[in-house]
Structure 1
Amino acid sequence: MWGRLWGRKALVTSLWRTTALGRDPGAQAAQRGSRTRRALCDKAADTPKVAPQTASPGRSAYRNDRRPTAFEKKILLWAGRFKKEEDIPMLVSSEVITAAMSRVRIRVCYITMALTLLGCLAMIISGKRAARQEDTLQRRNLEKKAKWRAEAETELEAGAIKAP
């Protein structure tokens, strides 16, 4: 019976926690010793670093150059990456184009936010001015309907006169 209890994981872990080794992290590390080292992690540190092979020896292996389109050239100019279109090289890395697009996208967002705020302020000012002059939508609507009624009555009268 005791053999079964000692074999159970719950009893073993509870005994482990109650001992001094289970409570002291420094004692656990000392007891484990070299068990904490992982063999798979040490392999990369032992191997010498080799430079990657490239097609042309003067260039980076991971450089992703491509020809920019006319729109991408405009974006590179708007982002301030180059001063003139003649300064843009034939091949530009995709990272430079992506960074320029992000910069232009942020500028467009700022401009949109500023225009939205200006539009809101203009609507507030015009609404307050209309309220001071008592020019409300309800009043405009009533005037429009009165005008339509007057036109309808004149048409009915003109039709009644022409009927005999």
Structure 2
Amino acid sequence: MLRVLGGMLGRSHGLWRGARPGLHPTRASGGRAKGAEDAALPTAEPGYKTFQHDRRPTNFDKKVLVWAGRFKREEDIPKHISSELLEAARSNVRIKVCYIMIALTVLGCLAMVITGKEAAKKDQTLVRLNIEKKAKWRADVEKEQEAAVGKAQ
């Protein structure tokens, strides 16, 4: 019964007995042995290790690597660098930028608190400023109306 059900699903009957083919030591995914998979990767250059240096850094990447402290100068950066090195440097720079943004936010908040307290001491609240502004507008409207009545007479 289990063999029939396994055959219908396209799997071997060993699956139903608790065997896990993905964890079998001599079998890799795709049905090839692990040693054959490593041997199948050709290298373009004999001295070039696969995936060790897999990208050329751009000018921005060079600045990131220097700012992250991976290299002293842009001239010291090799022609090819690994993606892992660049990702680590970018993460380091992201953290530095976040720290800078946190510091600027705290400084901005402190500046707003200080200026707000100074304005409160001078009694320059938003309510008072709005009342003064509206009183000025009303005075301007009254002057315009008086000028319009004076021209009509």
- In structure 1, list runs of 5 or more residues that go unmatched: 1-39
Percent of residue pairs identical = 56
Report matched runs for 1:1-164 at 5 Å: 55=43, 56-164=45-153
Cα deviation for residue 138 of structure 1 reads 0.4
Determine the C-alpha separation between the residues in 2 that align with 1:88 and 1:64: 12
C-alpha change, 1:92 and 1:162, in structure 2 (3 Å) is: same
2:118 is matched by which residue type in structure 1?
A: R
Cα deviation for residue 59 of structure 1 reads 3.9
Greater helix content: 1
- In structure 2, list runs of 5 or more residues that go unmatched: 1-22, 28-34
Determine the C-alpha separation between the residues in 2 that align with 1:127 and 1:66: 52
Show CA shifts across 1:13-71 (max 9, x none).
xxxxxxxxxxxxxxxxxxxxxxxxxxx76769xxxx89866624444334242111111
| Structure of higher CA gyration radius | 1
Cα RMSD of the aligned pairs, angstroms, is: 2.6
The secondary structure found in structure 2 opposite 1:66 is coil
Show CA shifts across 1:100-151 (max 9, x none).
1100000000000000000011111111111111111100000000000010
Tell whether the 8 Å contact from 2:65 to 2:71 is kept in structure 1 after alignment.
yes
Superposition TM-score, scaled by structure 2 size: 0.70
Tell whether the 8 Å contact from 1:54 to 1:60 is kept in structure 2 after alignment.
no
Determine the C-alpha separation between the residues in 2 that align with 1:42 and 1:111: 50
2:114 is matched by which residue type in structure 1?
A: I
Determine the C-alpha separation between the residues in 1 that align with 2:58 and 2:88: 15
1:143 is matched by which residue type in structure 2?
A: E
